[in-house]
Structure 1
Amino acid sequence: MVVDLDRHEQLAAEVLPQTGLLVGDAWLRAGSGGEYQHVDAATGRPQATVPLAGAAEVDAAVAAARDAFPAWRGLRPDLRRNALLRLAELIRSRASTIGQVLTLECGSPILGATALPARAADYLEYYAGLADKIEGSVIPIFPERAFDYTLPEPYGVVAVVSTWNGGISALGRKAGAALAAGNTVVVKAMELAPFSAVIFGELALEAGFPPGVVNVLPGGVEAGRALVAHPGVDKISFTGGIEAARQILVAAAQHITPVVLELGGKSGNIVFPDADLDAAGAFAGVACMRNSGQGCVMPTRLIVHSSIHDQIVSRALAGIAAMPIGDPLDPATAFGPVVSARHADRILAMVSAADGEILTGGHRLDEPGFYVAPTVVDRIAADAPLAQEEVFGPVLAVLTFDDEDEAIALANATPYGLAGYVHTTDLSRAHRVAAALDAGYVSLNGFAALPAAAPFGGYGRSGFGKEGGREGLAEFVRTKNVYLPLELR
């Protein structure tokens, strides 16, 4: 495996945007939160200096969003629709460059990264199509004496706090829904991956969004705390970890600010003896290693029937061994680095503390970047930390079961409830187990990329609220009831 260091530096100089803080229509090239030295995950080398927002810039961005809200809310819905469609088209037209930026900002292999701009555009186009279809209803109450109806209204200023692995597709999903409903947004981009959010802000202005409708603040903990606790924020949409979510809920409670939380997962992948063993085994190994396991929805617990344990595990190991590991800018690479040295150390610490048998991996790869070898740990106890805590890295924990009830119990035996996976050729069992899983998303015999029209969100510690679909739009609309007596006095 070879990482082309010179190519990374040259491409960064060509495609990375000049980072800054978008407040209204002004780009601030310095912030009160200081600076962050961004490091290329594949090379371990410094890549760019990122100005960070502090409380002062949060105040300014929220003020700009509040100033822009009345006009954006009052804009004809078809004009909001058209603005979202223009933004989607701009993202599609620059998908190749944005994909390269996504690879440079967090190490995602280019093959997958180049698909994310299209996902962002899909969400923007979907919500553009709903912008002029947000309708109220007439309530059947005493029709001869009164008229009662509802008005769907936007909240106002929405704080969009996204994690580093979501990139521009997460902004398309979150901000697209909020903007279509008539809200304005302040995006807090994580300092680990600020570049695609900056591009989103640049293209929003180019698409004709009025100043202040979209504001973008790369920032760290200081900016995040200031934003979610701000009295001028009317709703919070957050993707990230459980500890940050707890702090957000405490801050939001001060102003009773409603929150949407899309958090972590520890998703079980149940394989029954009647499954297609070749397909299920390959899926078990490869699906949890996508983006080096850095995804909340990954099937990170393999829950396999004891009678087929050896067959499935051997197939999973074979699939992992066949994954090309290398430079994420190489289109042939399927497995790249994790996002930072700190993240790599955390992953390996969790693996070293595990009681199971390490079948493969469990170590750093000898590269300049932050590569953790794909890891499989067998015979994990259901209550072990590796079976309970989100690793957010290329680690698969293997558990076994003997009957359907035990499989369901194991799948539900974590505080998370984001996703579940079931492999079986028995249609009745597939639907029965899907209904029994405590998860917001269940995939049968595969891993499908959810369309923009599908809702996504978890149960338990995986959060609450939905993103995507009509349910995702509803998160940013509140309902007012109007009662009109027909005999006015």
Structure 2
Amino acid sequence: MTIANPRSAIRFPEFDYQQRYWMIIDGEQVQAADGQTYRCVDPFEDAEWGYVPVAGASDVDRAVRSARAAFPAWAKTSPFARLELFRRWAQLIREHSSELARLQVHENGKTISEMNMVPGALAQSAEFCANYALTLHGETVTPIMPGHTAWTERVPIGVVAAIAPWNNPLGLLQWKLFGALASGNTVVVKPSEVTPVSTIRLIELALEAGFPPGVVNVVTGAGATGAALVEHPGIDKVAFTGSTATGRSIAQAIAPRLIRATLELGGKGANIVFEDADLDRAAEGVLTGIIAGTGQACNAGSRILIQSSVRDEVLARLENLMSQVVIGDPLEPTTQIGPLASRPQYKKVTGYFDIADGEEDTSLIVGGRCGTDVPGVTGGLFVEPSLYATPDRASRLRREEIFGPVGSVIIFDTEDEAVEIANDTEFGLVGGLWTRDLDRARRVSRQIDTGVVWINTWRAFSPNVPFGGRKVSGLGHEMGLDIFEEYTEPKAYWHGPDNS
């Protein structure tokens, strides 16, 4: 494995390691009412930096009340006026793209080569949502009752709690934030405690663009902060990305209030390689599904299904590709895998190496080392990209979401067997297949029980294409032309007959 040379100079000279960051409530920068803070951790250096507020229940209440107070005026704001604000915001995002990218690298170790693409995508998504909001229209209906007229319009829901994860905080927040705001809702954002600062900066740019106070707020903290937000009676909808376990807890918490939710949860994507595929492209796609985001992605292709007739050819290609993967400082442009995002995540992923050692039928194909066991890596929260053969259906590596660069290899003989194995999971977020046969591509993709299917590609996204899961992978969809159905509701109006 090739090791990127770490930087010997201070990696982030623009950020003061003792800097105090602020929440944003009602257009103001505020600390927690009780003064509590915590520190971020740079996973490459495994070193603490900055001080971030820990929002208590009173801080969450203040943020929700601010959003509630701002909602009536924002809901009445012309979508054309909102569009102008979004245009300014998008321009500021572009102007601060390097800052936003570097902040997220600092927070969670995502590679700069991947992060450099994110701010541009944010700006495009903001403009898309604001422009598409101009097309929100109701309809006139001819009802069954004689002499009556009826019509509808789509109205915003109210105050949205947008809870973003640590693995891709800016990229996944955009799917909630822009659609909610563009359609007239106000928002309280709660970023992960691992990655708060890049989100704070994004919302500071919104205020700089001219968004009114209270329209978008940020509270920071860990699980208790998120629970206070979800359980607050002033919240009308929760939009969450994270683990299935946390998604279930949120659903239980909001069930008595019967409020709406969009839950984008876990995944265990099957990446199927058929014998007629372009094997070079397929191997590269499989590698992407394993290592992108250091494997910390709900859309990872963590189950690799290979047709038996090309097993040796595909595995040889994968072993060769993985031997060339560059692991190291995420600020280096050539680095393909940075560190895992946090100490708890490092402990979780490395624990699966021990689990694999204890499974009778599971065997290591390549990788399996962590931390200082990886040649050339002297620190940081690193694991080596790894592949395991998992013929046993009960294997935990095969069934559980590891959320690291660890792939489970499964061999199949027939097309029907591939489909059956792909669907043999509680998850249903993404899946994919590699084949030159167009009929097979159509036939198999329709049978894969996931919200997204990629054919001869992996990890393709666009703001006008929906993303969401089936089974325990979630409820509702983000992005796409129907996004505003998630953040508005139809309202019906009746006019009776004129009896004059």
What's the offset of the Cα at 1:464?
Answer: 1.1
> Following the alignment from structure 2 to structure 1, what is the Cα–Cα distance between the partners of residues 45 and 90?
32
> Following the alignment from structure 1 to structure 2, what is the Cα–Cα distance between the partners of residues 133 and 143?
29
Identical amino acids, percent of aligned pairs = 36
Say what the alpha-carbon RMSD is for the aligned residues. 1.7
Question: Residue 320 of structure 2 aligns with which residue?
Answer: 318
Question: Residue 16 of structure 2 aligns with which residue?
Answer: 13
> Following the alignment from structure 1 to structure 2, what is the Cα–Cα distance between the partners of residues 413 and 155?
37
> Following the alignment from structure 2 to structure 1, what is the Cα–Cα distance between the partners of residues 82 and 75?
9
State the SS of the aligned residue for 2:493: strand
> Following the alignment from structure 1 to structure 2, what is the Cα–Cα distance between the partners of residues 92 and 282?
30
C-alpha offsets along residues 282-304 of structure 1, whole Å, 9 cap, x if unaligned?
A: 22223311111011101110011
> Following the alignment from structure 2 to structure 1, what is the Cα–Cα distance between the partners of residues 201 and 481?
26
Question: Residue 460 of structure 1 aligns with which residue?
Answer: 471
Question: Residue 280 of structure 1 aligns with which residue?
Answer: 282
Question: Residue 309 of structure 2 aligns with which residue?
Answer: 307
1:4 equivalent in alignment to 2:22 = no
> Following the alignment from structure 1 to structure 2, what is the Cα–Cα distance between the partners of residues 176 and 205?
14
C-alpha offsets along residues 350-391 of structure 1, whole Å, 9 cap, x if unaligned?
A: 232123111222221323210011111113423311111101
> Following the alignment from structure 2 to structure 1, what is the Cα–Cα distance between the partners of residues 189 and 391?
40
What's the offset of the Cα at 1:32?
Answer: 4.1
> Following the alignment from structure 1 to structure 2, what is the Cα–Cα distance between the partners of residues 275 and 17?
52
What's the offset of the Cα at 1:485?
Answer: 1.4
Contact 1:21 1:31 in 2 (8 A): no
Q: Which has the higher mean CA deviation after the structures are superposed, 198-207 or 349-358?
A: 349-358
Aligned equivalent of 2:244, options 242, 245, 249: 242
> Following the alignment from structure 1 to structure 2, what is the Cα–Cα distance between the partners of residues 447 and 188?
29
Quick one: structure 1 residues 488 and 37, their matched pair in 2 at CA, closer, same or farther if it must change by over 3 Å? farther
Q: Which runs of 4+ in 1 moved over 6 A?
A: none
What is the one-letter code of the residue matched to 2:369?
H
What's the offset of the Cα at 1:131?
Answer: 2.0
Question: Residue 381 of structure 1 aligns with which residue?
Answer: 392
Contact 1:17 1:198 in 2 (8 A): no
What is the one-letter code of the residue matched to 2:294?
S
Q: With structure 2 as the length reference, what TM-score do the two structures score?
A: 0.94
Paired residue total: 488
Aligned equivalent of 1:372, options 367, 383, 406: 383
Question: Residue 448 of structure 2 aligns with which residue?
Answer: 437
Contact 2:186 2:215 in 1 (8 A): yes
Quick one: structure 1 residues 31 and 395, their matched pair in 2 at CA, closer, same or farther if it must change by over 3 Å? farther
Quick one: structure 1 residues 448 and 39, their matched pair in 2 at CA, closer, same or farther if it must change by over 3 Å? closer
* Aligned positions of 1:38-437 closer than 5 A: 38-142=40-144, 145-354=147-356, 355=359, 356-366=362-372, 367-437=378-448
Quick one: structure 1 residues 397 and 31, their matched pair in 2 at CA, closer, same or farther if it must change by over 3 Å? farther
What's the offset of the Cα at 1:144?
Answer: 5.8
What is the one-letter code of the residue matched to 1:468?
M
What's the offset of the Cα at 1:431?
Answer: 0.6
What is the one-letter code of the residue matched to 2:405?
P
Contact 2:32 2:56 in 1 (8 A): no
Q: Unaligned regions of 5+ residues in structure 1, if any?
A: none
What's the offset of the Cα at 1:143?
Answer: 8.4
Contact 2:43 2:342 in 1 (8 A): yes
Contact 2:428 2:473 in 1 (8 A): yes
> Following the alignment from structure 1 to structure 2, what is the Cα–Cα distance between the partners of residues 89 and 127?
15
State the SS of the aligned residue for 2:39: strand
> Following the alignment from structure 2 to structure 1, what is the Cα–Cα distance between the partners of residues 33 and 166?
20
What's the offset of the Cα at 1:219?
Answer: 1.4
C-alpha offsets along residues 138-164 of structure 1, whole Å, 9 cap, x if unaligned?
A: 112258611111121001000000101
What's the offset of the Cα at 1:88?
Answer: 1.1
Q: With structure 1 as the length reference, what TM-score do the two structures score?
A: 0.97
Q: Which has the higher mean CA deviation after the structures are superposed, 73-82 or 166-175?
A: 166-175
What is the one-letter code of the residue matched to 2:367?
G
What's the offset of the Cα at 1:83?
Answer: 1.1
> Following the alignment from structure 1 to structure 2, what is the Cα–Cα distance between the partners of residues 44 and 118?
29
Aligned equivalent of 2:489, options 459, 472, 478: 478
Contact 2:16 2:50 in 1 (8 A): no
Q: Unaligned regions of 5+ residues in structure 2, if any?
A: 373-377
State the SS of the aligned residue for 2:347: helix
